[in-house]
């Protein structure tokens, strides 16, 4: 059982030993259910997608379980898992970026796309990412979720903000992007000119 701080018990004399290296102690499910959503929100606030955030949260919880099952104590579970989720997300982003750089270096002029549509989607994503780089992390996260079709209330729930705060960040982001986009064109528009 976790205490109100989210701390794991240091040594429970009455707790039974795990049967395998990845067996979960009785208190783990409670902590997992308590922390998972907050971990996902934290990674999304760093700019991760929902899938990336869930992967990082799961990896952090798995690291916690491995650590506890090997007898290493975690005194502040909430803080430790938050930090672990951030590390997992950043490590995966660096690995993905490194892979992309190696692919580009290996075949600089040729992309192995199955269709022209894949290439167009990739170019549009790159262009959108470059435009969104001009926003603050909060504005970027809000704009990305809005582009996914989420309402301000849903975005607020995911990012831990009020709907009014989400709407204001959307307005500020649009105001910041208008001058950038007034003369700019997407990669597809450039190809047709």
C-beta separation of 69 from 18 below 8 A: yes
Give all domains of the chain, ordered by start, each with its CATH number: 1-110 (no CATH), 113-192 (1.10.10.10)
| pLDDT at residue number 9 | 44
| pLDDT at residue number 111 | 53
| pLDDT at residue number 178 | 86
State which of 6-20, 65-79, 109-123, 163-177 shows the largest mean pLDDT. Answer: 163-177
pLDDT in tens, 111-167: 555 667 777 887 888 887 888 888 888 988 998 898 888 999 999 998 999 999 999
* Mean pLDDT across the chain: 79
pLDDT over threshold 60, residue 15: no
- What percentage of the chain carries pLDDT values higher than 70? 78
| pLDDT at residue number 102 | 81
DSSP the chain: ---TT-PPPS--TTSPPPSSTTPPPTTHHHHHHHHHHHHHHHHHHTT--HHHHHHHHHHHHHHHHHHHHTT---S-HHHHHHHHHHHHHHHHHHHHHHHHHHHHHHSTT----SSHHHHHHHHHHHHHHHHHTTS-HHHHHHHHHHHTT--HHHHHHHHT--HHHHHHHHHHHHHHHHHHHHS---HHHHHH-
pLDDT over threshold 90, residue 56: yes
Band of the pLDDT at 30, cuts 50, 70, 90? confident
| pLDDT at residue number 189 | 52
State the Rg of the chain over Cα: 21
pLDDT over threshold 80, residue 188: no
Report the predicted TM-score, pTM, of the whole model to 2 decimal places.
Answer: 0.45
pLDDT over threshold 70, residue 87: yes
Owner of token pair 């040594």? 11
pLDDT over threshold 90, residue 27: no
């Amino acid at each position: 059982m976790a205490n109100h701080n989210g701390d794991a018990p240091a040594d429970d004399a009455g707790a039974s030993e795990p049967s395998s290296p990845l067996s979960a102690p009785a208190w783990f499910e409670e902590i997992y259910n308590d922390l998972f959503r907050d971990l996902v929100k934290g990674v999304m606030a760093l700019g991760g997608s929902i899938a990336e955030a869930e992967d990082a949260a799961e990896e952090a919880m798995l690291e916690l379980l491995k650590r506890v099952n090997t007898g290493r104590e975690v005194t502040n579970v909430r803080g430790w898992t938050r930090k672990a989720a951030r590390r997992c997300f950043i490590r995966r982003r660096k690995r993905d970026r490194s892979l992309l750089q190696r692919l580009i270096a290996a075949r600089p002029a040729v992309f192995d796309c199955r269709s022209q549509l894949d290439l167009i989607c990739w170019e549009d994503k790159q262009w959108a990412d470059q435009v969104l780089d001009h926003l603050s992390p909060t504005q970027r996260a809000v704009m990305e979720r809005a582009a996914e079709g989420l309402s301000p209330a849903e975005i607020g729930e995911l990012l831990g903000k009020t709907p009014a705060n989400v709407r204001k960040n959307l307005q500020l982001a649009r105001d910041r992007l208008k001058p950038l986009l007034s003369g700019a064109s997407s990669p597809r528009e450039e190809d047709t000119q």
